[in-house]
Each structure stands twice: as C-alpha cells, then as structure tokens.
Amino acid sequence: MNAKEYLLQARYLDEHITSKTQQIASLNDLATKCTSTISDIPRNPNHGGSRMEDAILKIIDLEDGLKKDIEKLVDLKKEIMGVIHTVPNVEYQMLLEKRYLCFIT
C-alpha cells in the first residue's frame, strides 16, 4: 500500500459509514410505516416472535456495526493525523489534513 492509498482509507471508511447511515434510516422509515392488523381470530401459540420484532432486532444489529465502524474511523483518523504531523513543513501538514481528514479537494 502506497502513501496515497493509506491516507485515502479514512475517506472510504467515511463514505461506507455514510452509506450505512442512509440504509439504517431507510429501514427505520420502513419499520415505522408498518401497521399491525387487528383480528379476532386467535394467533397460533407456536408461532415465534413477530416479524416487526425481527426487523427491529436486525436494525439494531446494523446500528451496532455502524458504531464499530465509527470507532474504527476515529482511530484511523487519529493514526493518520499522527503520520501527517511527522511532515516537517506545517503548511504541508495543513494541506494533508484538509485533503485526507476533512476530505476537501
């Protein structure tokens, strides 16, 4: 892995987190739009949990994965910042931080 690929890791992880966040928001919207059906017909007692409950549990699992990705991004940015601060020129440090940590072109 060359220097540019190393520095771009944070951007790709950030984009991955943004995508996951959008997916979770979409799934939450779908879950809240669902309505339950009320019926006087008794339910099967052998039937497991509700489908809504299963969907919510899956969303919670996705959110846990998102939290882990965010922690990984914070650690990666901290590591990259340490590498950038080894550059002797302060102006170059600022440019590298803006490009690879703030994602400004």
The string of pLDDT tens digits covering residues 2-40 is 999 999 999 999 999 999 999 888 888 877 776 656 666
Model pLDDT, residue 48:
54
Rounded distance, CA 14 to CA 52, Å? 30
Domain that holds residue 85: 3-31+48-100
Looking at the whole model, is its pTM more than 0.85? no
Does some domain include residue 79?
yes
Read off the tokens for 9: 């890791």
Does some domain include residue 39?
no
Model pLDDT, residue 43:
61
DSSP 49: S
Does some domain include residue 13?
yes
Does some domain include residue 36?
no
Rounded distance, CA 67 to CA 56, Å? 17
Residue 59 CA, chain-centre distance (Å), reads 12
Does some domain include residue 40?
no
**Number of domains composing the chain:** 1
Label residue 58 by pLDDT band (50, 70, 90).
Answer: confident
pLDDT at 41 over 70: no
Does some domain include residue 22?
yes
Alpha carbons within 13 angstroms on the beta-carbon side of residue 63 total 11
Considering the chain, what percentage of its residues have pLDDT values greater than 90? 60
Does some domain include residue 12?
yes
